[in-house]
Amino acid sequence: MKARSFNYKAMVQYVTVDQCKAQSTIPFADDDELIGELINAAQERVEKDIQQPLTACLESDGTTLAYPLQRAIIIMVATLYSNREAVAYSQPYNVQYSYGWLITPYIKYT
């Protein structure tokens, strides 16, 4: 069976692979495609969590995503990159003033 190839650049990405690599201190390019795919997944998750499209949270220039949401995406990518399996063998816990704290002001309650 042929491996499926993803085109991670098909979606508009509001953070870069390099920003995500810096967060996770990844000095090599081997996982760039994976990180690009994780950016897409993280962006989709943030949209679901804030209950509105990311385009509704752009700065006045119309292209730059609000900085707290950029950081939330980068944190989510780092978490997904570090935890690639469905099971973790350590005690997980939420870090205060992290992902949830960053996205809360952008949640659209209907």
Q: What mean pLDDT comes out for the span 48-64? A: 96
Q: What is the rounded CA–CA span in Å between residue 84 and residue 81? A: 6
% pLDDT > 70, the chain = 85
pTM as predicted: 0.83
- DSSP secondary structure letter of residue 51: T
* pLDDT at res. 47: 96
* pLDDT at res. 87: 75
Question: How confident is the model over 58-96, as pLDDT tens digits?
Answer: 999 999 999 999 999 999 999 999 988 777 777 766 766
Helix axis angle, 32-50 relative to 67-82, nearest 10°? Answer: 120
The angle at the Cα of 80, spanning 104 to 83, to the nearest 5 degrees, equals: 125
Question: Token digits for 64?
Answer: 């730059």
* pLDDT at res. 110: 82
Q: What mean pLDDT comes out for the span 13-30? A: 95
Residue length of the chain: 110
Helices (H), the chain: 17-23, 32-50, 67-82, 99-103
Question: Token digits for 38?
Answer: 């994780």
